[in-house]
Amino acid sequence: MITFLLVFSGLIVCIVYLIGIYNEYYWKRRNVAFYKKHKVTSVLWDFVFKKKAVYLNLWEVYKEYRKEPAVGIGTFITPSLYVIDPTNVQHVLSTDFSSFNHRGLDVHKDDLLADNILFMNGNRWKLTRQHMTPLFTSTKLKSMYYIIDKSALDFVQHLNENKQLLKGDTFNTLMSFCSAAIGGAVFGISTGSIFDSPFLDMARNAFKATFSSNLSFAVLTLSGNLSNWLGLKFFTQHEKFFIGAIKQILRAREKENVKRHDFADLCVAIQKAGKMVDKETGLEMTPTDELLAAQAFFFFAAGVEPTATALFGTLYELGKDPEYLEKVHKEIDEAFEKNDKMNFDIIMGMKHLDMAFSEAMRLHPPIGFLTRQCIRDSVLPVGNIKVDKGSKIFTPIYEIHHDPKYYPEPEKFIPERFAPENKHKIADITYMPFGKGNRICVGLRYASLQSKAGLVHLLRNFTVRSIIHEGGPKYKAQAVQVRPYNVDVEFIPRNVA
Ligand code: HEM
């Protein structure tokens, strides 16, 4: 038995070694630099075994190969390219979208809640995205604003009634606001205790980093086939609760005669219309409760964690910059003096708030990097790099946002970078907290609105002070999320009429 194990382990080591050599050779032949630290698992090794967030590992590669247009990295036996030059990034995300429209993460077909726009590909993705987009038009957002506003007002009251929440684990506290806001605005959920609902628990756990979830993500990134062969599923533990809840919401809404213009209304209309049909390709999809629940599931998850990161990042930066905080307070106070109530236009028209929010999203983009897969041979313009069908692509977000070439003094919070008179100096492709191209975040306008409404009501009622624990800011080992910790934000009540 021992001999067998020794021979078997030796064989595995040899195979891994040969794959590493193959990966290196693959890119060398194309005149592309190769990241040699882990030739088979590259940035995923330290993610799983050293608990270092993937984007921070990519950041190391970025700094080392800053002058290269792209770097080959090992992801098992699939050729993978980490694209560094912004023109090449633009090519992948936007210019040659038809060659790179695949997300590069092939989830298990029985992972029902993963059958959402984020993970879908090809014509199914296109058709589903087309049907979901109407939820996020300006008209829809304007009509749902009053619900977001109410959640923010209720949240302020909730903080006032639970003073222990004013200091300590503010990220978590902000997640409860985000869950209530998206639950109310998008799904019409208003349970008795909206800041402590089972939906919030689900959103908190959906993308939680644990050793096994990180390992599963690493396997999925290395090889979709291997992940499917191992039967890895990510969200099955939420299926019963969430699909059940969505079914209940939809059945209740079918019986109601009131139009709320939210996700549930949209779903009822889609189901009433019968099959979803792509006229160009003839593809037909049935909008089952499960398919719609999968979309809702991701909307909910995205409405909670990344949105809480955006809020937290802004409050944290403002809490360190009393001078700029004063400007934002002034802008918000003036808006309240002039208007009885906030609305979409007032919130979205606040200049200093927008500058602070944009700069915080640059410093702390809630999603650190993007993935794509090449579905048709292509050539990256800078370096003339041939990319074969099937290759995986990683593109930077955090790294570009922190590159001194694009943002002088990149670690400093300088909202003036996003002042109307300066904005044009920032190239479109060097700022992408919501991604870029046709797969850009569907909920970006909703997420900005929800975050800004939260910020306005919080800062109307509280001022903030940032707390930096010993050792300074750190980042959790998340798969794609950028989640700061070891820092916090304290709310201090203001005396406003
Ligand atoms: C501040 C909060 C948020 C941030 C920073 C964020 C960021 C992102 C990013 C970077 C992507 C990938 C885009 C790409 O591949 O080019 C994405 C995709 C997506 N986001 Fe968001 N997001 C946020 C909130 C939301 C919300 C609230 C929703 C829905 C209500 C949402 C729905 C989606 C969907 C459906 C996709 C997949 C799009 C596709 O593949 O076609 N996001 N988001």
Could you report the per-residue pLDDT of 328-387, keeping only the tens digit for each?
Answer: 999 999 999 999 999 999 999 999 999 999 999 999 999 999 999 999 999 999 999 999
Separation of CA 115 and ligand 1 centre (Å):
15
- Quote the crossing angle between the two packed helices 236-255 and 263-272, to the nearest 10°: 80
Confidence (pLDDT) at 185 = 83
The letter for the amino acid at 320 is K
3-class SS at 378? strand
Using most ligand atoms within 8 A of CB, pick from 144, 441, 483 the residue to mutate for ligand 1.
441
Q: Which three-class secondary structure state does DSSP give residue 380? A: strand
Can you tell me which atom of ligand 1 is nearest the CA of 136?
30
Per-residue pLDDT, 202:
86
User: What pLDDT does residue 195 have?
Assistant: 67
Q: What is the mean pLDDT of residues 258-286?
A: 92
Other CB atoms within 10 Å distance of the CB of residue 56: 18
Nearest residue (by CA) to ligand 1, atom 14, is 435
Which residue, by CA, sits nearest to atom 27 of ligand 1? 303
Cα–ligand 1 centroid distance for 299 (angstroms): 8
Closest protein CA for atom 19 of ligand 1? 441
236, pLDDT greater than 90:
yes
Question: Ligand 1, residues 97, 175, 434, 445: which to mutate, most atoms within 8 A of Cβ?
Answer: 434
Distance of CA 482 from the midpoint of ligand 1 (Å)? 14
Question: Which residue, judged by its Cα, is nearest atom 17 of ligand 1?
Answer: 441
A 10 A CB-CB count for 388 gives 12
In ligand 1, which atom is closest to the CA atom of 432? Answer: 10
CA 464 – ligand 1 centroid, Å = 28
Question: Which secondary structure element, helix H or strand E, spans residue 456, and what is its range?
Answer: helix 444-461
pLDDT of 497 strictly over 70: no
Mean pLDDT, all residues of the chain? 93
Cβ 118 under 6 angstroms from ligand 1: yes
- Three-class DSSP category at 465: strand
* Number of helices followed by number of strands (H, E) in the chain: 18, 13
pLDDT in tens, 435-482: 999 999 999 999 999 999 999 999 999 999 999 999 999 988 888 999
Give the distance (Å) from ligand 1 centre to CA of residue 118.
8
Tell me if 446 CB under 6 Å of ligand 1. yes
As a dihedral over the C-alpha atoms of residue 155, residue 160, residue 163, residue 166, rounded to 10 degrees, the angle is 50
Q: Which residues contact 456 (CB under 8 A, 6 or more apart)?
A: 152, 332, 335, 342, 347, 350, 353
Give residue 20's identity as a one-letter amino acid code.
Answer: G
Is residue 353 exposed (0-12), middle (13-18) or buried (19+ Cβ within 10 Å)?
buried
* End-to-end CA separation in angstroms for the chain: 79
pLDDT in tens, 41-64: 999 999 999 999 999 999 999 999
Ligand 1 atom showing the smallest separation from residue 295 Cα: 35
> At which residue do the structure tokens 């750190």 appear?
474
pLDDT at 260: 81
Cα–Cα distance list, 304 to 121, 242, 298 (Å): 24, 15, 10
- Any alpha helices (H) in 223-288, and if so which ranges? 224-229, 236-255, 263-272
- pLDDT tens profile 18-46: 999 999 999 999 999 999 999 989 999 99
Q: Is the C-beta atom of 366 inside 6 A of ligand 1?
A: yes
Distance 300 CA to ligand 1 centre (A): 11
Report the C-alpha gap between 239 and 110 in whole angstroms: 11
Q: Which domains does the chain have, with CATH numbers?
A: 31-493 (1.10.630.10)
Atom of ligand 1 at shortest range from CA of 439 = 41
Ligand 1, atom 41, lies closest to the CA of 439
- How many C-beta atoms lie closer than 10 Å to residue 307's C-beta? 26
Is any ligand 1 atom within 6 A of the Cβ of residue 59? Answer: no
Has residue 193 got a pLDDT over 70? no
pLDDT for 194: 61
- Quick check: CB of 100 below 6 Å from ligand 1? no
Does residue 434 or residue 147 have the better pLDDT?
A: 434
3-state secondary structure of 18: helix
Residue 444 CA, ligand 1 centroid: distance in Å: 6
Rounded to the nearest 10 degrees, how much is the dihedral formed by the CA atoms of 336, 338, 339, 345? -90
**pLDDT for position 331:** 98
Nearest Cα neighbor of 303 from 181, 145, 159 is: 181
Q: Does residue 496 surpass a pLDDT of 80?
A: no
CB 452 within 8 A of CB 357: yes
Rounded CA-CA distance 44/267 in Å is 38
Q: Is 295 in the pocket of ligand 1 (CB under 6 A)?
A: no
Regarding the beta carbon of 303 and ligand 1, being less than 6 Å apart is answered: yes
pLDDT, tens digit (0-9, with 9 covering 90-100), for 281-301: 999 999 999 999 999 999 999
User: Could you tell me if the CB of 436 is within 6 A of ligand 1?
Assistant: yes
Q: Is the CB of 393 under 6 A from ligand 1?
A: no
CA distance linking residue 323 with residue 330, whole number of Å? 11
Ligand 1 nearest-atom number relative to CA 438: 41
367 lines ligand 1 (CB under 6 A): yes
Q: Is residue 259's pLDDT more than 90?
A: no
Inform me whether the pLDDT recorded for 189 exceeds 80.
Answer: no
Ligand 1 centre to CA of 21 (Å) is 36
Rounded distance from Cα 275 to ligand 1 centre (Å) = 26
What is residue 371's predicted lDDT score, i.e. its pLDDT? 97
pLDDT of residue 82: 98
Buried-exposed string 408-425: b where 16+ CB fall within 10 A, e elsewhere? eeeeebbbebbeeeeeee
Q: Does residue 374 sit in helix, strand or coil?
A: coil
Residue 179, ligand 1, Cβ within 6 A: no
With 60 as the cut, is the pLDDT of residue 142 above it? yes
Q: What is the DSSP string of 38-73?
A: STTTTHHHHHHHS---HHHHHHHHHHHTTTSSEEEE
The answer to whether the CB of 233 falls within 8 A of the CB of 114 is yes
